[in-house]
Amino acid sequence: MHRLSLTISKLAPKQWVGLLLGIAALLLGFAAPLTALPSPVQNALGIALFALFFWTTEPVPIALSSVGVLALIPAVGLLSFEQSLAPFVSKTVWLVLAGMALSLGVTKTGLGDALASWLQSRLSQHPFLLLCQLHLIGLGTAFLISSGVIRVLFLMPIGIALVERLHVRPSPHLKAAVLLSLLCSTYFGGCGLLTGSVPNLVLAGQYEKTQGAPIFWATWLYWMFPVIGFLRTLVSLGAIWMLFGRHLNSHVIQQPPSPRNAPLTRIQRRALYILLAGVGLWATDLLHHIQPAYVGLGLVALFLWPRWGLLHFGDLVKVRFALLAYIVALLTLGRALDAAGFNHLFIAACSEYLTLEEYGWLGKHLSLCLVALPLDFLMDIAAVAGVATIPLMELGAQHGVAPLPAAFSVAMATTLAFLPYQSAPFMVAYGFRQLSMRQLVLAQGLISTASLILLCPLNLLYWRWLGLI
């Protein structure tokens, strides 16, 4: 308690604002003053806004506010205690745990530093070309590894080691430029692939549930990747260059000491072989149907294998278990909002007040995207894909929008992440404590805003040109 009071006494002004707004939202939600909304909906919204302010401004550690969310939801009767903690046994949480253990192995064996050394001798010294190459690396991993969390957990240790090798003199912008290039390209660019993000897979599952036919990987690639994948990677490049890269110069980037790299040690080679086997299994999951979480846990078992593995069980204490509390709280919050009836009320209200029959083809499809967008700020975007896809497809069908473009319109909303808490990969990256919340918010906000204003309409024009709508 003394430590908490000491932490609060040292808050920055923006953290005080977040603290006061979060508590005010929580109290207002519990008071439930609006007669037009059921009390459970107002309770759930109060907790959601409390989480939004506390996770974004961090007046207290994110793990602590996450535990608070997990305690508040059953306390007001939105879910039972068992339902609130149920996500702890979900595959998502175990995949994150496996990824963190593997990331620890990459760092502990020195493989991350060795790969950074190998990359350094092949990357350009020109800042803009360097960021281009890093964006290609990030996007390329999205083709190989289906989980955004796993990609981030692999790329961050390599990126951190690379920054340390590239430094000649202190540069506050180099670390942000390098790490955000890898992070934003693999997430935002990867959303152009069916297997590039969890919300895409959830949405595809909802589509198949109603239509009886799947969305194939090639179908998603054809209609979504050119704009939402490739062009958005270019938007990410432009945003990160404008925010951080343009402040760099070639003197910041160090010359490799030698064109030859030291060979990998036996332990590093073993770690690399295990990870390559995992990448092979993740890249072919559509063929063998083994869940990514099972693959990840299998790799962790190999890393921990007695007298052969590369980690000891004692090493696992270095895993950031506090992050799991946030993941569980985010998943539970989505369930609580759905159980309270908020999602149904929100979509029903939008359906009633939107006059889609008066809109043209562009307005109808953009409206489906914009209706889903506010939900992104209240829950994990994978949960948004789960609750919004079918109702918005039905709304579109009432106004002549075909099922596939309606689903893709919702997908354009669920690929946007303006703030880190909206998507687990960004919070995982933040957990490394190499990027500030401000840097993440600036980069994500700029990329997502540009995507919403420029790329979403452009994507609809692309569909129109090729005959999807």
What's the 3-state SS for 5-37?
HHHHHCCCHHHHHHHHHHHHHHHHHHHCCCCCC
Domain range summary for the chain, segments of one domain joined by +: 1-78, 89-198+223-318
- Is residue 217 within 8 A of residue 449, CB to CB? The reply is no
What pLDDT score was predicted for residue 253? Answer: 67
Tell me how far apart the alpha carbons of residues 60 and 46 are, in angstroms, rounded to a whole number: 18
Alpha-helix residue ranges (DSSP H) falling in 354-436: 361-372, 381-398, 403-414, 424-430
Tell me how far apart the alpha carbons of residues 251 and 277 are, in angstroms, rounded to a whole number: 39
Q: How far is CA 224 from the centre of its chain?
A: 18
Name 242's Cβ contacts closer than 8 Å, sequence gap at least 6. 446
Going 97 to 99 to 102 to 107, the CA torsion angle's sign is negative
**Distance set, CA 433 to CA 157, 214, 419, 441 (Å):** 12, 40, 16, 14
Question: CA nearest 15: which of 61, 63, 67, 70?
Answer: 61
Tell me how far apart the alpha carbons of residues 460 and 408 are, in angstroms, rounded to a whole number: 10
Token couple for 274 = 């295990």
Tell me how far apart the alpha carbons of residues 19 and 8 are, in angstroms, rounded to a whole number: 9
Name 448's Cβ contacts closer than 8 Å, sequence gap at least 6. 416, 417, 418
Name 60's Cβ contacts closer than 8 Å, sequence gap at least 6. 4, 7, 8, 19, 54
What pLDDT score was predicted for residue 3? Answer: 58
Going 436 to 439 to 445 to 448, the CA torsion angle's sign is negative
What pLDDT score was predicted for residue 290? Answer: 82
CB atoms within 10 A of CB 77: 12
Per-residue pLDDT of the chain (469 residues; tens, 9 = 90+): 555 565 566 788 888 999 999 999 999 999 989 888 899 999 999 999 999 899 988 899 988 999 999 999 999 999 999 999 988 888 878 888 888 888 888 888 888 888 888 888 788 888 999 999 999 999 999 988 878 888 998 899 999 988 888 765 657 788 999 999 999 999 999 999 988 888 998 899 889 988 988 888 889 999 999 999 999 999 999 999 999 988 887 656 665 554 456 678 888 888 889 888 888 887 777 778 788 888 888 988 988 888 777 888 888 888 877 888 888 898 899 889 989 988 888 888 887 787 777 888 999 999 999 999 998 898 888 888 888 898 999 888 888 899 999 999 999 999 999 999 888 899 889 988 899 999 999 999 999 999 999 999 999 999 999 999 8
Beta bridge partners of 253: 167
Report the predicted TM-score, pTM, of the whole model to 2 decimal places: 0.86
- Site of tokens 């895409």: 200
What pLDDT score was predicted for residue 92? Answer: 78
Q: What is the DSSP letter of 227?
A: I
